[in-house]
A and B are shown apart, each in its own frame.
Chain A
Amino acid sequence: MTQQGLSWLASYPKSGNTWFRVVLSAYLDGGESEVDLNALQTGMIGSSRLWVDDVAGFDTADLTPAEIERLRPHVYRWSALHDGMGGYHKIHDAYLYNDAGEPIVDPVATSGAVYLLRNPLDVAPSFAAHLGVDIDRAIKLMSSPNASLSRNDKGLNPQMMQRMGTWSSHVESWVDATEIACHVLRYEDMHATPQQSFAAAFAALGLTVDHEKLARAISLAAFDKLSHQEKSGGFRERPSKAKQFFRSGQMGGWRKSLTTDQVVRIVADHGAVMKRFGYLDAHGEPV
């Protein structure tokens, strides 16, 4: 880990990453003016093809997924150590190694990481809407060791392929990573105790926290404001298959949107990690 370098905002999709970035963007901007969803200034996404193409000097569009994964740690290291790049970059890849045995998220390039975590019972319906698939399909993807984002062998996706694995293995890959220090932030805590939760995460990212400014930033990033802004001006990060990026943002919505069978399956797939992070009680029941 390096003092100056890249900070990662890591999460499984639909776990509060964008909300976190909006608050961070508003905070870095002084917490004074309305947030422009389509001009978040926090950083890039780790899977950006432009980023790797620019630094490598040749096109990832002409490389296989395994070849691209071999470049990525070196590109991040170059950006951090030689291009003086800092910033807070979203990433949906699990914390994994390439076939040369190197962590794709290069620890030398990394100055900090926050892992955003959300109850998988709430992730499933949101992820389904995000992908434009039914909830059963989303549950299956969340339990698939080979799940990935932006995989397209027949064409070009603006983003490079991101290996995610299962929801559980995604969580554990980051929070148990030995090469980097990762601050874990639960979506539910961002809701319940926003000031305290964001402050702790910002501090973990090396920011000096000004509580008044943070309070203003949190207020500017209220969910209904973001949802309203998306409805009026669109959101460039909305996947084409999703009707709306900012759907409900609620906690516990699963009680209405999931069937009993779906709840049972998610708990069977992810019980151990759910318990570890307080999403199941001592009896294994969802809280």
Chain B
Amino acid sequence: MPTLYQAYGLTISSEIDLPELPQLSGLAQPADLSITRDPTLTSAPTGDEWVQLSPYAWTTPTAFMLFVPDVAWFLIEGGRTIRVAPIGGIDMASVRVFLLGSAIGALLFQRGFLVLHGNAVDMGDACMLCLGVSGAGKSTLAAAFSARGYNVLADDVVAVNADGQALPGIPRIKIWRDAAERLALSTGSLDRIRPQMEKFNLPLPKTLVSAPRPVKWVFLLGKHEKPDFELTHLNGIARFGPLMANTYRRRFMEGMDLNADHLAQCGRFAGLVHMAQVRRPDAGFDIDGLVDLLLEDMSKVPVA
């Protein structure tokens, strides 16, 4: 029997256990997304309709296939189904890392969302996004907000709807051991995201926040050589480039022929939010100081 879950505003029926997600007890209607196992997926797709986007990804107008070597094959179709073929004796935690990452990201593109690389933190009536490249410190920042009692809506993959609202995603933060130590979080009781890695699933309260939150603030997190934080507001067209640059798996989006929609989405969204570039020292930054800085900046632009 598949188990029922909820994420990104979707009801999910899954043959694969997804302990990271809040469960649902029952559904009146068929689930929005069905995740099944399909051992027949063992090789690259063939057929003229398939366009190869990378050594590991293929797409058609309605389907997307992803191969993570030695881990799994994923076939994502019509924004409604994900079929998964784990490879060999791979552990399911490893499969879930990519299922709840790139595979769900492709599905969110198929469903027409603006999908961004970053996290979303609930500020009450509105939320903030923090975007940036891997290693910028986004997850550490999200964990620091969580430690202050803020609800982290999504980490890594943020889906924004046509009204500029972020959808509650997967209630966990993937956090490295050194970041956990910096935040004085014990990793003793946490599960590793993959057995061989010093990276952990930091669970967040599964409060079943199902309502999308309007995005009011977007912070672009980066690093610089200077010893202090630097916050610069971006206005007008300057907000557009960072949204394009921080699009989740831009290669997928372009390959799926969503460029025109995406440009329009970014343009519309850029007009709805306050945006600032935040640079932090390259090494040894004060994470609490960064939380304070962002809170102070947000307090100057209160929710209307």
B198 at interface, CB cutoff 8 A: yes
A158 to B283, CA, bound (A): 12
Interface 9-residue window, one of B9-17, B64-72, B206-214, B286-294: B64-72
Interface flags, A45-85, vs B, CB<8A=1, else 0: 00001100111111111101001001100110110001000
The answer to the question of B225 belonging to the interface, with a C-beta cut-off of 8 Å to chain A, is yes
In the docked arrangement, what's the CA distance between A50 and B135, Å? 10
Q: Say whether B251 contacts A54, CB under 8 Å.
A: yes
A49 adjacent to B134 (CB under 8 Å):
yes
Closest to A74 in B: B55
Known contacts A49-B134, A71-B69, A156-B134; is A58 also within 8 Å of B198 by CB?
no
Q: Which residues of B contact A158 (CB under 8 A)?
A: 133-135
Complex interface: chain A residues within 8 A of B69 (CB) = 67, 70-71
Interface residues of B in 60-105 (CB under 8 A from A): 66, 68-70, 97-98, 101-102
Distance in Å from the Cβ of B295 to the closest Cβ of chain A? Answer: 25
A234 interface residue per 8 A CB criterion: yes
A-B contact count (CB 8 A): 84
CB closest chain-A residue, reference B223: A158
A103 to B125, CA, bound (A): 53
Chain A residues, CB < 8 A from B179: 155
Say if the beta carbon of A283 comes within 8 Å of chain B: no
A60 to chain B: which residues have CB within 8 Å?
Answer: 134
Q: B133 contacts A50, CB within 8 Å?
A: yes
Count residues of chain A with CB under 8 A from any CB of chain B: 32
Cβ A64 vs Cβ B98 within 8 A: no
Nearest-CB distance from A106 to chain B (Å)?
A: 11
Shortest Cβ gap from A269 to chain B (Å): 31
Whether B274 is near chain A, meaning CB under 8 Å from some CB there, is no
Chain B hits for A59, CB < 8 A: 101-102, 134
A49 cross-chain contacts in B, Cβ below 8 A: 134-135
What 1/0 mask marks residues of chain B from 119 to 140 whose CB sits below 8 Å from any chain A CB? 0000000000000011100000
Q: Are B54 and A56 in contact (CB under 8 A)?
A: yes
B102 interface neighbour in A57, A70, A78, A234, Cβ under 8 Å: A57
C-alpha spacing A61/B97, complex, angstroms: 11
Q: Which residue from B102, B177, B249, B250 sits with its C-beta under 8 Å from A154?
A: B177
| Residues of B135-149 contacting chain A, CB below 8 A | 135
The minimal Cβ–Cβ distance linking A195 to chain B, given in whole angstroms, is 34
Identity of the chain A residue whose Cβ is nearest the Cβ of B139 in the assembled complex = A156
Q: Are A157 and B196 in contact (CB under 8 A)?
A: no
Contacting pair B252 A240 (CB below 8 A): no
List B residues at the A interface (Cβ < 8 Å): 52-57, 66, 68-70, 97-98, 101-102, 133-135, 174, 176-179, 181, 193-194, 196-199, 225, 249-252, 282-283
What are 19 pairs between A and B in contact, CB < 8 Å? A49-B134, A55-B54, A55-B251, A57-B54, A57-B57, A57-B251, A58-B66, A58-B68, A59-B101, A62-B101, A62-B194, A67-B69, A74-B56, A75-B55, A78-B54, A153-B198, A154-B181, A155-B178, A155-B179
Kindly list 12 other residue pairs between chains A and B, CB separation below 8 angstroms, not including A62-B101, A156-B135: A49-B135, A50-B133, A55-B54, A59-B102, A62-B194, A74-B56, A75-B54, A75-B55, A77-B55, A154-B177, A155-B178, A155-B198
Question: Which 3 A/B pairs are nearest by Cβ-Cβ distance?
Answer: A155-B178, A240-B283, A74-B55
